[in-house]
Amino acid sequence: VSEIETTFVKAINATLARAMRDDERLIVLGEDVAEGGPYGATAGLGQEFGAERVRNTPISEGAICGIAIGAAQAGLPVVVEIMFIDFITLALDQLVNQAAKAHFMSGGQLTVPLVLRTQGGAGSRSAAQHSQSLEAWLAHVPGLKVAMPSSAADAAGLLMSAIADPNPVVFIENKSLYFRRERAPRTAQPMALGEAHVVRPGRDVTVVALSRLVGESLAAADRLAAEGIEAEVIDPRTLTPLDLETIVESVRRTRRAVVAHEAVSHGGFGAEIVAQLQAAAFEFLAAPVGRVGAPFTPVALSPPLEDAYRPGRDQVYQAALAAIGRGPS
Amino acid sequence: VARFQAHGLEAGWFDEHAADAIARQAGDEVERAVSVARASPVPEPELAAQLVYAQASPAP
């Protein structure tokens, strides 16, 4: 496969442009999208496709989502950008009570082919209201699909599938991944929603990591490997649907597992993975499943406090050691 | 609805005869839907799970 050097945000941008060229009905809505948005994910789309298809909206997330849902129900595929996932609180009524339920409540007559792109995550000194990881709220709602890509290649492939999906898909990006240089296929191919990726094979412990924690877990795996411990790193790629089968198959071999994400551990999606894993593979587990996540506090503006809040490779390393009985829990 | 009907009559959008006909038509439609629902078998519990997500249309 021919590859190029790109970044996560460029992959998003290129995929949106390609999708809009392929389907002239597809529209993009959001705050400042015609100017590229805060990180440039929609840069150039306004110039190429015009103001009819790349529409700046007022600062009203509920209205943006409501308009998008109505358009999608009427047969117009839509990609909405909610600038920060922290602002999704303002769109939840439309997303949870309308988009997620339209198909069900209409007895299958309505569909909502909507992609809601947003980004979250700490690390950019953006404080408590611009740094959260709220994916667990969304994964809790039947009718929504939730994707969390961890690389530029996955972002492109999953976004293609999300746009083609007839259901509302919440597509959660992590801002700290946006500008990292990566290799990715020159021509992205769709990646199925609900297929996990075994990013690194290993025999001693399974690390199930979401979004930014995938890269952090790979770094932890390198450190573990230097000590003779082979960690298998799995990226579920989507929380809903969740590819439990790949996780269980791994744990049957390794018998030990750690779940890692940036969100607050308490009530986080890691708890759901642990619960499903122990129900499906309890007899194979040789130790409790370790969890890596943020402490139960808001994200602080203070750099030292934010750095202390944000889970990373060191926490994954320690949790993996604990899972195999070589370190403190 | 009542306020809208009064406004429509006053504005001359429709007369009372037309308003009654619309109301009768809507009532009949609701009655037909209720009759169909009452005559239908009770849904199987599995139906709820089937309706959560739309399936992608097969490629043409």
Say which of A107, A143, A164 has its CB closest to residue B53: A143
What pLDDT score was predicted for residue A66?
97
**Complex-level ipTM:** 0.89
Per residue in A241-262, pLDDT (tens digit) is 999 999 999 999 999 999 999 9
- The pLDDT > 70 percentage for chain A reads 99
Q: How far apart are CA A161 and CA A131, in angstroms?
A: 27
Residue of A103, A165, A166 lying closest to B51 (CB–CB): A103
- What three-state secondary structure class fits B60? coil
Q: What was the pLDDT predicted at A297?
A: 97
Residue A328 is predicted with a pLDDT of 58
Confidence bin at A206 (pLDDT 50/70/90): very high
- Chain A residue with CA closest to B43: the answer is A107
| Three-class SS state of A55 | strand
Cis peptide before A113 (omega within 30 of 0): no
Distance CA A254, CA A247 (A): 10
For chain A, the residues whose C-beta falls within 8 A of a C-beta of chain B are: 103-104, 107-108, 111-112, 142-143, 145, 164-167
For B34-43, the pLDDT digits (tens) are: 999 999 999 9
Exposure b/e, A31-60, CB count within 10 A at least 16 = b: bebbebbebbbbbebbeebeeebbbebeee
Using the predicted structure, report yes or no on whether residue B59 has a pLDDT greater than 90. Answer: no
pLDDT digits (tens, 9 = 90+) for A47-71: 999 999 999 999 999 999 999 999 9
> Are residues B53 and A167, on separate chains, in Cβ contact within 8 Å?
yes
Q: What 3-state class would DSSP assign to A292?
A: strand
Q: Which pLDDT value is given to residue A194?
A: 97
Taking 80 as the threshold, does the pLDDT of residue B13 lie above it?
A: yes
What does the pLDDT read at residue A214? 98
A79: nearest Cα among A176, A158, A178, A194:
A158
Using the beta-carbon criterion (under 8 Å), do B52 and A111 form an inter-chain contact? no
Residue A283 pLDDT exceeds 60? yes
pLDDT, tens digit, for every residue of A19-42?
A: 999 999 999 999 999 999 999 999
Q: What is the dihedral of CA A55, A59, A62, A63, to 10 degrees?
A: -50
Nearest to A200 by CA among A177, A181, A220: A220
CB-based contact (8 Å) between B51 and chain A? yes
Tokens of residue A236, six digits: 């579920």
A198 phi-psi bin (left φ>0, alpha ψ -120 to 50, beta other): beta
Q: What distance in Å separates the CA atoms of residue A323 and residue A317, rounded to the nearest whole number? A: 10
Q: Mean of the per-residue pLDDT values for chain A?
A: 97
Q: How far is B17 from chain A (nearest CA, A)?
A: 33
